[in-house]
């Protein structure tokens, strides 16, 4: 069973729409959860982290965590073409080990 799963996409949304990215994880003992954005050939850039159940908002981004259902999501409001990238979900399944999903490609069309 894969530890962190994401739909590879691409997820296509028009400019100004809400993009919804989802991630599931296998280990119920996971403590911390992260979303990274990665442009092609560049390094992952941290967007959000969340530790507790519920929602966490930062500007146009909202991270949602549901530990009972073992999923994490990222909502991007008012999507812009510059948001087009691969979004990586990462989970601390074990202390000192961050496990990444393979990423979801997001395409925002003008």
Could you give the count of Cα atoms lying within 13 Å of 90 in the half-sphere of its Cβ?
21
Supply the DSSP string of 46-78, one letter for each residue: EEEEE-SSEEEEETTEEEEEETTTTEEEEEESS
Contact call for residue 1 and other proteins (CB under 8 A)? no
Binding piece for other proteins, criterion CB under 8 A, among 21-29, 64-72, 76-84, 88-96: 88-96
How near is the Cβ of 91 to other proteins at its closest, in Å? 11
Comparing CB distances to other proteins, the nearer of 42 and 77 is 42
Report the alpha-carbon distance of residue 78 to residue 2 in Å, rounded: 32
Instruction: List the x/- string, 29-48, binding to other proteins by CB under 8 A.
Output: --xx-x------xxxxxx--
Beta bridge partners of 5: 24
Contact call for residue 72 and other proteins (CB under 8 A)? no
Comparing CB distances to other proteins, the nearer of 44 and 74 is 44
């Amino acid at each position: 069973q894969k530890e962190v799963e994401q739909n590879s996409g691409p997820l296509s949304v028009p400019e100004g729409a809400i993009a919804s990215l989802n991630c599931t994880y296998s280990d119920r003992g996971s403590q911390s959860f992260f979303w990274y954005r990665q442009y092609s050939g560049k390094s992952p850039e941290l967007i959000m982290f969340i530790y507790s159940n519920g929602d966490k908002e930062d500007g146009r981004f909202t991270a949602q965590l549901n530990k009972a259902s073992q999923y994490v999501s990222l909502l991007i409001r008012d999507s812009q073409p510059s948001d087009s990238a691969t979004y990586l979900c990462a989970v601390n399944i074990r202390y000192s080990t961050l496990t990444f999903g393979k990423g979801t490609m997001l395409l925002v069309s003008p």
